[in-house]
Homo-oligomer: A and B are copies of this chain.
Amino acid sequence: MPEAPAQAERFGKARAERSTALLEDYVELIADLFAANGEARAADVARRQGVTHPTALKNIARLRREGLVTARPYRGLFLTDAGRKLADAARARHRVVVDLLIAVGAPREAAEADAEGMEHHVSKATLKAFERFLAERRPADRDEAPQRQADEDESKTS
């Protein structure tokens, strides 16, 4: 067992990350919707999050309080500079995490699903390690070329 203070610090870090996970997912999603549709509507956020629209609105109200999003009544959502910055960082980290999971052999769909939760707990140091690992394994490769194979059918994906 780790020393008690070190362990408490780790648990505290995980708790803090849990509280920012929603912010990160929302700004990332809003940025994606904006890029894809030219606008980001609360109803779209709710549908893609899989929550009711009052829940999405309440969470968006929190994003506004934290200065990540602006919105005028009955209009779409807009990211502030801080929101865009956070969205870009979240999106880049998200992609690295997915790529790493696939690189070590996770099935693609499991990688996509697990990354959605894992990403929020990846520190800068670990993210750097992931990038280095990917750079070594896949030198300047871009498209899909699944050579390393672990492909098996598992309907049980949780």
Residues of chain A whose beta carbon lies under 8 Å from any beta carbon of chain B? 1-4, 7-14, 17-18, 21, 25, 32-33, 36, 47-50, 100-101, 104-107, 110-114, 116-118, 120-126, 129-130, 132-133, 150, 153-158
Contact = CB atoms under 8 A, between A and B. Distances in A.
A101 to B, nearest CB: 6
Contacts of A106: 125-126, 129-130
Contact of A18 (B9, B117, B132): B117
A123 B110 contact: yes
Could you tell me the dominant secondary structure of chain A's interface residues? helix
A117 B17 contact: yes
Q: Which 4 A-B pairs have the closest CB atoms?
A: A117-B121, A8-B50, A14-B117, A105-B129
Contacts of A32: 1
A156 B7 contact: no
30 contacts: A1-B32, A1-B36, A1-B157, A4-B47, A8-B50, A11-B49, A12-B50, A14-B21, A14-B116, A18-B18, A18-B117, A104-B130, A105-B129, A105-B132, A110-B123, A114-B121, A114-B123, A114-B126, A116-B121, A117-B121, A118-B118, A118-B121, A118-B122, A121-B121, A123-B158, A124-B156, A124-B157, A125-B154, A125-B157, A132-B150
